[in-house]
Amino acid sequence: MVDWLRWLEPIFNQGEHYEKLPRLVVYFILPVACFLMLVRVIEATIGIYLGTHDSLIVSHEVEDQIDDLSATHHDQPLHKD
């Protein structure tokens, strides 16, 4: 483990020596990740409610947009001489 994180051992790890990763890092990341997922679900729910999104799954929307773009630009050549 890196030495600059050794100050966390007596405070958060009850005096035990760290071998790889401080417990504080793991215990901090889990609530942050859950909060970010909650924010995304709220954002998608508001988008569905307001009518700007059709569903929670975005990948289908991207596939539809790619199909639309390829259909509109199908006649145009990729390289102009």
3-state SS of 35-48 is HHHHHHHHHHHHHH
pLDDT (0 to 100) of residue 1? 62
53 burial level (CB within 10 Å; 0-12, 13-18, 19+): middle
Locate 39 and state its tokens. 């924010």
Q: Is 27 helix (H, G, I), strand (E, B) or coil?
A: helix
Q: What is the mean pLDDT of the chain?
A: 76
pLDDT in tens, 22-46: 777 778 899 999 999 999 999 989 9
Q: CB of 1 within 8 A of CB of 18?
A: yes
Look up the pTM and report it. Answer: 0.51
